Structure formats: structure tokens, C-alpha cells
Amino acid sequence: MGIGFKELLIILAIALLIFGAKRLRTIGSDLGGAVKGFKKAMGEGEEDENKQLTGEKDADFDSTSASNKAENKSSSV
């Protein structure tokens, strides 16, 4: 069994009595800001990871093409 609508209302009423409306509003906004910041950080981490992966592939390609050019020069001489 899960928590139903009645149980959530009771929990909300108790929290309202304990903390007050103003404090609950600040707690909610702080929690929302924390979740938003977490999602933003996760997105930035994925972007950085993708940049590193594509950068490594480009670097491997550049080093391979550079070694091929060096081999071609030495064989033609």
C-alpha cells in the first residue's frame, strides 16, 4: 500500500503547524533551487564528458595522420 491523498494532507497539516507557512515556502524554494542546480551540474558534466570524448577522438586522428605524413616523407626521400 502506498501513501494516499488523505495521508499527504495530514502530513502537510502537521508540517504547517510545526514550521509555519513562511518557513515551508522558503524550504520549498530552497529545495527547488537545489534540484535545479543539481540538474544543471549534471548537464554540464555530460557536456564536458562529450567534449573530452570527441577531443580524444580528434587528437587520435591528428596523431595518426601526422605519423602517416612522416612515414610518407621518409619513404619518398
pTM above 0.85, yes or no: no
At 13-49, the pLDDT tens digits run 999 999 898 888 898 899 999 999 999 988 887 887 7
Distance between CA atoms of 71 and 18, rounded to whole angstroms? 77
Task: Go through the chain and tell me how many residues it has.
Answer: 77
For 24, counting Cβ atoms within 10 Å of its Cβ (0-12 exposed, 13-18 middle, 19+ buried), the class is: middle
